């Protein structure tokens, strides 16, 4: 056996314990039920992996297969109820969930529908309303025609948009959730810092991505669903597509972003690297974006709004000669998803609360097709923003 | 720089060129349009990453963020039309798609809705029907309430279930697609074979998964969204949840499955390993499942049905004393998704055609809580099944 692939790094030994206590899940459920009461919901029906996992603690990479739907019903009172395919029953029985209904899936004629009908028939009906994942930044993980059919077989209830309620619940993280996010942020921070020792001039973007992907896994990241590596002379034209086969050349700015996970929680932040010597214009733009990040962090405190965060960063970018950018916002929530509400942008209007975890992500195009974007992850405390990432250096790391 | 992380393996040098020719996409579109004609559809509206990529060739890991919807409209005649967020415009312009509409997203008041309305208003209306991803094994990658609102602003058209048409198009692979799938299957076959040299008795499932994840990346896999590692004395109780912190012990059977990708195409097959010496009962069950796989491969030919495949494998499993299993089917389609229709099971009724890529996946519980499952990937040719994976050994590989 090779030792390289299994050696423990410092980050791995510092890792918080996996999973959460039954008390954590009971607390999440109780908080959900208070918000459901305000929203006049008799139940929440969830199908998407992050929501399923949030209430159950259950994880499966098998969600990659769209064949079988999975359901958790959170009633207004009492414990969550699982309605799941047989294939996962042995493992779901190991979570805190005690009320589990299963069926032999796939069964196209009735993939959970009649079980859900029976579950809803057994719930008290106060408001006649069930909240489902119908709204912004959510997608229903079941066929839409199956959802329509479900509506028709559940008497006495209307399905309404439960996403505002679900986002209200999930966007304020518990201390245990914050420990998880901090861990993956620190692990990725260390990997970014070490990267110049793993890569060199003349490598392709794809080779850089592979080296970083392997190093993140070695350090203890469970998965790396998001790892664009994008390079260009003095900056990049876009930040979401890549890596490609372009080779790193002197004068390039290399942009790398990663959403890696630890036990179901994401980091989401980027770093930029100078490939050899870069232009003074690129350096000045980098300084502007670095200062905009400082301004964003300073503006982040309970009671501030996402509009205010955007404005604080944009003022610095404008003063630095920003031509704009195509990202459309300067940060967002994160947690069990790479991106979650709210968005740092005009008109979002979210008031920040302690426990929210956010990206601070200003970017500017300083010349046509040359963009530089920074990103840090913070948790909001009573005193303001606390960094979860290890702050990017004021001068770019250099690759030769 | 380390050489380990960037060395080219034989598999990497054999990799087919990334991407596909404009002629490939034109051919896919023409085939879709023939099927749309039969299904009386004036257009297909697609939102899910595999469908978006199938028609455009465009890829982005940024689909991991659910904030912004993306759309391709395939009209009954003419080229596909993209309606996408600004953030991806520079890259989409590099694909074969020439008709591109963008908006500054996120824009909660109108995230693509008015652009789509205008696109549909410009299409000929012969049948009044637009096919959307509403059916089995598909999910709409946009909020359901946004889809409902879209229906209301598009005059003269009804949105119907386009998934039968989309699956008909996608389930028969082109030669270029098959080359991609074969490559990732061979790469993962080699990684599985090398694994006993990387792991040992006493390691945890999670450590085994990490070693294999790193090796797959080194060999050139782009990503590994699916990698359960599950161990148990003589067999496993389930095959979809893991890895955990269990340590490998003598007498264990270790089950590993992977869906890894190359340029957007998946493999999906498992391997089982004996940890030290295993029981005769486990060996007998393994032989039965190996023979069931042989029977499944032999039964796979054009004109056979998925029911027939299931029956051919089940006869061998029953004769070997199978108690059943909780998987619910014995294989399925694969391609741009880990699992795709059809399913090898009673009642599926799909007639196999050349170009379909399938998993052959028999499994049996031979004692309570002790299951053994095999899996190979094949492409259907005029002559029968052609293996894409390198066939599992008749005796389990052993880890000591």
The predicted-structure confidence for B160-174, as pLDDT tens digits, reads as follows: 999 999 999 999 999
Q: How far away is chain A from the Cα of B399, in angstroms, using its nearest Cα? A: 10
DSSP A392: P
Residue B15 located in a structural domain: no
Q: In the block, which residue shows the tokens 């499955």?
A: B257
Which residue of chain A comes nearest to B8, CA vs CA? A207
Same domain (yes/no): A116, A249:
no
A340 pairs with which residues across the strands? A333
User: What is the mean pLDDT, run by run of 10 residues, along chain A of 400 residues?
Assistant: 40 84 98 98 98 96 94 98 93 95 95 97 97 96 96 95 98 98 98 98 97 97 97 95 96 98 98 98 98 98 98 97 88 98 97 98 96 98 98 97
Same domain (yes/no): A155, A259:
no
Q: How far away is chain B from the Cα of A390, in angstroms, using its nearest Cα? A: 23
Q: In the block, which residue shows the tokens 């082109």?
A: B174
Alpha-carbon distance values, B203 to A98, A185, B16, B176, B245 (Å): 31, 26, 35, 40, 9
Same domain (yes/no): B81, B163:
yes
Q: How far away is chain A from the Cα of B256, in angstroms, using its nearest Cα? A: 12
| H helices, E strands: number in chain A | 11, 19
The answer for B 261-320 residues in CB contact with A (under 8 A) is none
DSSP A366: E
- Look at A85-89, A259-263, B77-81, B113-117 and tell me which has the smallest mean pLDDT: A85-89
Q: What is the pLDDT of residue A141?
A: 96
Q: What is the pLDDT of residue B13?
A: 65
The answer for B 129-148 residues in CB contact with A (under 8 A) is 132-145, 147
Contact A140 B135 (CB under 8 A): no
Contact B1 A197 (CB under 8 A): yes
Contact A137 B203 (CB under 8 A): no
Q: What is the mean pLDDT of residues B312-334?
A: 93
pLDDT over 80 at B103, yes or no? yes
Contact A136 B198 (CB under 8 A): no
Residue B8 located in a structural domain: no
Which residue of chain B comes nearest to A241, CA vs CA? B60
Query: pTM of the predicted model, to two decimals?
Result: 0.95
Q: How far away is chain A from the Cα of B114, in angstroms, using its nearest Cα? A: 17
In chain A, which residues have their Cβ closer than 8 Å to the Cβ of B227?
A: 61
Could you tell me the residue range of the domain that residue B98 belongs to?
22-171
Contact B4 A4 (CB under 8 A): yes
B5 and A CB contact within 8 Å = yes
Same domain (yes/no): A133, A199:
no
Largest pairwise CA distance in chain A? 68
Which CATH number do you get for residue B147?
Answer: 3.40.350.10
Contact B87 A238 (CB under 8 A): yes
Contact A339 B67 (CB under 8 A): yes
- Please give the tally of structural domains in chain A: 2
Contact B228 A343 (CB under 8 A): no
Residue B349 located in a structural domain: yes
pLDDT tens for residues B84-93? 999 888 899 9
Q: Please answer whether residues B229 and B244 qualify as being in contact, where contact means their C-beta atoms are separated by less than 8 angstroms.
A: no
Q: How many CB atoms lie within 10 A of CB A23?
A: 10
Q: Please answer whether residues B351 and B380 qualify as being in contact, where contact means their C-beta atoms are separated by less than 8 angstroms.
A: no
- Chain CA centroid to CA B176, Å: 16
Which residue of chain B comes nearest to A60, CA vs CA? B241
Q: Which of B107, B130, B245, B326 to mutate: most A Cβ within 10 Å?
A: B326
Share of chain B above pLDDT 70, in %: 97
Q: What is the mean pLDDT of residues B140-166?
A: 96
Q: How far away is chain A from the Cα of B122, in angstroms, using its nearest Cα? A: 26
Alpha-carbon distance values, A272 to A56, A238, B201 (Å): 38, 13, 42
What radius of gyration do chain A's Cα atoms show?
Answer: 23
Nearest to A142 among B106, B139, B227 (CB): B139
Q: Which of B52, B86, B90 to mutate: most A Cβ within 10 Å?
A: B90
pLDDT over 60 at B6, yes or no? no
Q: Across the A/B interface, how many CB contacts are shorter than 8 Å?
A: 221
Contact A198 B1 (CB under 8 A): yes
Residue B321 located in a structural domain: yes
pLDDT over 60 at B8, yes or no? no
Residue B311 located in a structural domain: yes
Q: How far away is chain A from the Cα of B66, in angstroms, using its nearest Cα? A: 5
Distance CA B34, CA B37 (A): 5
Cβ within 8 Å of residue B188, ≥6 positions away: B216, B221, B258, B260, B267, B269, B389
Same domain (yes/no): A138, A186:
no
Residue A17 located in a structural domain: no
pLDDT over 50 at B2, yes or no? no
A214 and B CB contact within 8 Å = yes
In chain A, which residues have their Cβ closer than 8 Å to the Cβ of B64?
A: 225-226, 259, 337-338
A76 and B CB contact within 8 Å = no
Please say which residue of B121, B151, B171 terminates a domain: B171
Q: What is the pLDDT of residue A2?
A: 34
pLDDT over 80 at B157, yes or no? yes
Contact A144 B137 (CB under 8 A): no
In chain A, which residues have their Cβ closer than 8 Å to the Cβ of B143?
A: 134-139, 163
Q: Please answer whether residues B250 and B282 qualify as being in contact, where contact means their C-beta atoms are separated by less than 8 angstroms.
A: no
Same domain (yes/no): B52, B158:
yes
- Report cis status (omega within 30 of 0) of the bond before B342: yes
Same domain (yes/no): A73, A217:
no
Residue A15 located in a structural domain: no
Same domain (yes/no): A130, A215:
no
Nearest to B141 among A67, A139, A245 (CB): A139
Which CATH number do you get for residue A389?
Answer: 3.90.230.10
Please say which residue of A122, A150, A171 terminates a domain: A171
- Residue by residue, DSSP assigns A149-172 as HHHHHSTT-EEEE-HHHHHHHHHB
Three-state secondary structure string covering chain B? CCCCCCCCCHHHHCCCCCCCCHHHHHHHHHHHHHHHHHCCCCEEEECCHHHHHHHHCCCCHHHHCCCCCCEEEEECCCCCEEEEEHHHHHHHCCCCCCEEEEECCCCCCCCCHHHHHHHHHCCCCCCCEEEECCCCCCCCCCCHHHHHHHHHHCCCCEEEECHHHHHHHHHECCHHHHHHHHHHHHHHHHHHHHHHHCCCCCCEHHHHHHHHHHHHHHHCCCEEEECCEEEEECCECCCCCCCCCCECCCCEEEEEEEEEEECCEECCEEEEEEECCCCHHHHHHHHHHHHHHHHHHHHCCCCCEHHHHHHHHHHHHHHCCCCCCCCCCCCEECCCCCCEEEECCCCCCCECCCCEEEEECCEEEEECCEEEECCEEEEEECCEEEECCCCCCCCCEEEC
Q: Is A152 exposed, middle or buried (0-12, 13-18, 19+ CB in 10 A)?
A: exposed
In degrees, rounded to 5, the angle at the alpha carbon of residue B263 between the alpha carbons of residues B378 and A136 is: 110
DSSP A88: G
Distance CA A83, CA A110 (A): 12
In chain B, which residues have their Cβ closer than 8 Å to the Cβ of A236?
A: none
- Look at B4-18, B248-262, B272-286 and tell me which has the smallest mean pLDDT: B4-18
Q: Which of A47, A60, A62 to mutate: most B Cβ within 10 Å?
A: A62
- Report cis status (omega within 30 of 0) of the bond before A342: yes
Q: What is the pLDDT of residue A12?
A: 60
In chain B, which residues have their Cβ closer than 8 Å to the Cβ of A227?
A: 61
Contact A91 B18 (CB under 8 A): no
Whose CA is closest to A76, among A139, A147, A128?
A128
Nearest to B66 among A139, A224, A241 (CB): A139
Contact A345 B106 (CB under 8 A): yes
Buried b (16+ CB within 10 A) or exposed e, A364-381: bbbeeebbbbbbbbbbbe
- Answer yes or no: is the ipTM higher than 0.85: yes
Same domain (yes/no): B138, B232:
no
Tokens of A274: 């100078």
The answer for A 224-253 residues in CB contact with B (under 8 A) is 224-228, 237-241, 245
Same domain (yes/no): A39, A86:
yes
Ramachandran region, residue B361 (left: φ > 0; alpha: ψ -120 to 50; beta: rest)? beta
Tokens of B339: 């699992």
Same domain (yes/no): B156, B180:
no
Same domain (yes/no): A116, A167:
yes
Using DSSP, state whether A203 is helix, strand or coil: coil
Residue A305 located in a structural domain: yes
| Beta strands B252-262 and B269-275, pairing class | antiparallel
In chain A, which residues have their Cβ closer than 8 Å to the Cβ of B238?
A: 87-91
Q: Which of B61, B243, B327 to mutate: most A Cβ within 10 Å?
A: B61
Q: Please answer whether residues B289 and B317 qualify as being in contact, where contact means their C-beta atoms are separated by less than 8 angstroms.
A: yes
Please say which residue of A171, A204, A226 terminates a domain: A171
Nearest to B207 among A6, A87, A225 (CB): A6
């Amino acid at each position: 056996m090779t030792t390289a692939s299994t050696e423990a790094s410092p980050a791995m030994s510092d890792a918080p314990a996996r999973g959460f206590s039954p008390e954590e899940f009971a607390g999440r459920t109780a908080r959900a039920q208070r918000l459901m009461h305000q929203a006049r919901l008799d139940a929440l029906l969830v199908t998407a992996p992050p929501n399923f996992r949030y209430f159950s603690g259950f994880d499966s990479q098998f969600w990659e297969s769209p064949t079988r739907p999975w359901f958790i019903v959170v009633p207004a009172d009492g414990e969550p109820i699982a309605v799941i395919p047989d294939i996962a029953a042995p493992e779901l029985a190991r979570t805190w969930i005690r009320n589990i209904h299963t069926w032999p899936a796939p069964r196209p004629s009735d993939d959970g529908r009649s079980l859900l009908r029976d579950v809803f028939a057994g719930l008290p009906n106060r408001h006649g309303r069930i909240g489902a994942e119908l709204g912004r930044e959510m997608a229903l993980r079941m066929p839409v025609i199956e959802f329509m059919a479900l509506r028709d077989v559940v008497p006495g209830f209307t399905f309404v948009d439960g996403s505002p309620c679900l986002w209200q619940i999930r966007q304020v993280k518990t201390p245990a959730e914050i420990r998880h996010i901090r861990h993956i942020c620190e692990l990725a921070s260390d990997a970014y810092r070490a990267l110049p020792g793993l890569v060199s001039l003349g490598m392709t973007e794809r080779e850089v991505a592979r080296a970083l992907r392997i190093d993140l896994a070695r350090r203890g990241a469970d998965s790396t669903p998001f790892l664009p590596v994008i390079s260009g002379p003095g900056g990049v034209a876009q930040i979401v597509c890549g890596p490609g086969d372009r080779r790193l050349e002197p004068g390039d700015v290399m942009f790398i972003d990663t959403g890696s996970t630890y036990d179901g929680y994401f980091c989401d932040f980027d770093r930029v690297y100078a490939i050899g010597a870069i232009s003074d214009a690129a350096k000045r733009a980098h300084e502007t974006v670095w200062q905009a990040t400082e301004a964003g962090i300073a503006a982040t405190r309970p009671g501030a709004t996402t509009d205010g965060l955007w404005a604080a960063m944009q003022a610095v970018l404008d003063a630095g000669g920003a031509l704009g950018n195509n990202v459309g916002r300067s940060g967002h929530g994160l947690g069990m998803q790479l991106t979650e509400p709210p968005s740092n942008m005009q008109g979002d209007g979210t008031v920040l609360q302690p426990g929210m975890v956010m990206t601070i992500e200003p970017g500017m195009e300083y010349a046509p097709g040359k963009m530089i974007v920074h990103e840090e992850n913070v948790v909001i405390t009573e005193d303001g923003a606390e960094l979860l990432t290890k702050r990017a250096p004021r001068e770019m790391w250099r690759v030769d």
